[in-house]
């Protein structure tokens, strides 16, 4: 499945990304030339979504290698970019993998090796998104789907994860419309997912996050499908805040709740969700949007960017390798062993 739009370009010595903070009203490309600029773009969510963050982490190493390809600065750059946001594991693993690829080359060839790694990573991501969507098609029951946040091309550079499944289901005539939560406070659903769906000719129905439980209990959706930022060894899954509420409502209604994420989202170093670092963001993001302010200055806010859905609320985890089903600790361990063996054989 071809990605319907382009969101990231590797153009040595620059990284070019679509500025997602301006969408859907303005399509502006950012020309990123150093890791200061990249770190700002990541923190401000100009680029976002776990798999795309992995690509950006890798590109951060390439940008650093353009400036100084010696080992110590490259290691420092991978560390810095990899920790610009804490929850999506792929930001750090993408940066580390590119660092290792670059360090395997002689110093004067490291920048080129890093850019080549980025290009191959994007091709792999696009292929994985296609495989994930095909597996999702066989797992998710026919009917309309509710999704949360943005998991489309903007979030991966490929066809998307949960949104890739939605695209495949729509193309197969199994889904008429996709329900999209607005995703407060940064509105990734209202601004980005609704835009992507409409561009692809898929009817999108936008709802306030607060209406999601009522929608699920009304029987209007056949499944809830979301992405993930990090999946612990026991299947507990961190994703955009609000996901937990959707999973609880789906369990109450007997509606299947799926996570769609590439295997790179598993983090066996986290034994359970309690070990996943959760990003907290500013009160200003809750008290307004852009220049509009609706909360009184000085009010405190509790603003986690992510929450953790316990594994027992998850019907299945759709990956590019197939659908992982409970019991999770065993199924995840078996899949990760298989991936490790394959990597060792390469």
Ligand X SMILES: CSC[C@@H](O)[C@@H](O)C(=O)COP(=O)(O)O
Catalytic residues: 229
Scanning 64-72, 74-82, 104-112, 224-232 for contacts with ligand X by CB under 6 A, the matching segment is 224-232
**Per-residue x/- mask for ligand X, residues 173 to 192, rule CB under 6 A?**
---------------x----
Q: Is 317 in the site for ligand X (CB under 6 A)?
A: no
Residue 295 CB, nearest distance to ligand X (Å)? 21
- Site map 100..139 versus ligand X, x via CB under 6 A: ----------------------------------------
- Residue 263 touches ligand X, criterion: CB under 6 A: no
* Nearer CB in complex with ligand X: 75/199: 199
Look at residues 255, 248, 257, 249 and name the one whose alpha carbon lies nearest to residue 317: 257
Which member of 51, 60, 82, 322 binds ligand X (CB under 6 A)?
51
Question: Which segment (41-49, 109-117, 212-220, 292-300) binds ligand X by CB under 6 A?
Answer: 41-49
Residue from 161, 181, 309, 315 in contact with ligand X (CB under 6 A): 161
Under the binding rule (CB under 6 A), the answer on residue 149 touching ligand X is yes
**Judging by beta carbons within 10 Å of its beta carbon (0-12, 13-18, 19+), is residue 328 exposed, middle or buried?**
buried
Residue 133 near residue 166, CB atoms below 8 Å: no
Cβ-based nearer residue to ligand X, 115 or 195: 195
- Identify how many contiguous H helices and E strands the chain contains and give both numbers: 11, 16
Backbone angles phi, psi at 267, to 5 degrees: -125, 90
CB 192 within 8 A of CB 240: no
Q: Using N-to-C axis directions, what is the helix angle for 35-43 and 71-82, rounded to 10°?
A: 10
φ, ψ at 339 (rounded to 5°): -65, -40
- Tell whether residue 88 is a contact of ligand X (CB under 6 A): yes
Q: Which stretch binds ligand X (CB under 6 A): 9-17, 108-116, 154-162, 287-295?
A: 154-162
Q: Is 85 known as a binding-site position? A: yes
Q: Is 88:50 a contact under the CB 8 Å cutoff?
A: yes
Give the C-alpha separation, 192 to 163, whole Å. Answer: 11
Judged by CB under 6 A, the stretch of 42-50, 113-121, 199-207, 270-278 that binds ligand X is: 42-50
Query: Is 297 marked as binding a ligand?
Result: no
CA 166, 171, 174, 177 torsion-angle sign: positive
Q: Hey, is 113 helix, strand or coil?
A: helix
- Binding ligand X by CB under 6 A: which of 151, 193, 264, 315? 151
Buried b (16+ CB within 10 A) or exposed e, 226-247: bbbbbbbbbbbbbbbbbbbbbb
β-sheet with 316-319: strand ranges across: 204-207, 178-181, 145-147, 223-226, 257-260, 316-319, 322-324
Residue with tokens 């929608």: 215
Token pair 């009304």 in the structure block, residue: 218
Q: Residue of minimal CB distance from ligand X?
A: 227
Q: How far is the CB of 188 from ligand X (least distance, A)?
A: 5
On whether the CB atoms of residues 253 and 217 are closer than 8 A, the answer is yes
Pick the stretch among 153-161, 284-292, 293-301, 327-335 that binds ligand X (CB under 6 A): 153-161
With CB under 6 A as the contact rule, the residue among 156, 181, 263, 319 that binds ligand X is 156
Q: What is the Cα–Cα distance from 50 to 136, expressed in whole angstroms?
A: 19
Residue 303, annotated as binding a ligand: no
- Please identify, using beta-carbon distances, which residue of 113 and 133 lies nearer to ligand X: 133
Distance CA(54)–CA(49), nearest Å, equals 9
- Please tell me whether residue 240 binds ligand X under the rule CB under 6 A: yes
Interacting residues with ligand X (CB under 6 A)? 45, 48-51, 88, 149, 151, 155-156, 161, 188, 226-229, 239-240, 305
Annotated binding-site residues for substrate read 48-50, 85, 188, 239-240
Please report, in range form, the residues annotated as the binding site: 48-50, 85, 188, 239-240
């Amino acid at each position: 499945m071809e990605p319907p739009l382009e969101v990231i370009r590797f153009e040595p010595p620059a990284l070019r990304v679509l500025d997602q903070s301006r969408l859907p009203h303005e399509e502006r490309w950012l020309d990123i030339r150093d890791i200061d600029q990249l770190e700002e773009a990541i923190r401000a969510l100009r680029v976002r979504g776990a798999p795309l963050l992995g690509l950006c982490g890798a590109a951060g190493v390439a940008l650093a290698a353009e400036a100084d390809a010696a080992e110590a600065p490259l290691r420092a750059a991978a560390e810095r970019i990899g920790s610009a946001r804490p929850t999506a594991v792929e930001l750090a693993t993408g940066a580390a993998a590119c660092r290792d690829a670059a360090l395997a080359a002689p110093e004067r060839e490291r920048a080129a090796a890093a850019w080549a790694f980025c290009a191959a990573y994007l091709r792999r991501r696009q292929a994985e998104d296609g495989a994930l969507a095909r597996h999702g098609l066989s797992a998710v029951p026919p009917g309309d789907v509710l999704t949360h946040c943005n998991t489309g091309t903007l979030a991966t550079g490929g066809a998307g994860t949960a949104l890739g499944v939605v695209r495949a289901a729509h193309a197969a005539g199994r889904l008429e419309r996709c329900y999209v939560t607005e995703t407060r406070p940064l509105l990734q659903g209202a601004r980005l997912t609704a835009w992507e769906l409409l561009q692809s000719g898929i009817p999108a129905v936008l709802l306030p996050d607060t209406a999601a439980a009522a929608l699920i209990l009304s029987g209007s959706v056949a499944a809830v499908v979301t992405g993930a930022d990090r999946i612990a060894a026991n299947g507990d899954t961190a994703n955009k805040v609000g996901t937990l509420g959707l999973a609880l409502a789906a369990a109450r209604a007997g509606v299947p709740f799926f996570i769609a994420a590439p295997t790179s989202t598993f983090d066996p170093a986290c034994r359970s969700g309690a070990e996943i670092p959760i990003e907290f963001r500013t009160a200003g993001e809750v008290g307004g949007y852009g220049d509009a302010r609706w909360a009184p200055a000085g009010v405190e806010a509790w603003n986690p960017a992510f929450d953790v859905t316990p594994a027992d609320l998850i019907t299945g985890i759709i990956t590019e390798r197939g659908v992982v089903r409970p019991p999770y600790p065993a199924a995840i361990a078996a899949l990760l062993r298989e991936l490790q063996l394959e990597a060792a054989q390469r």
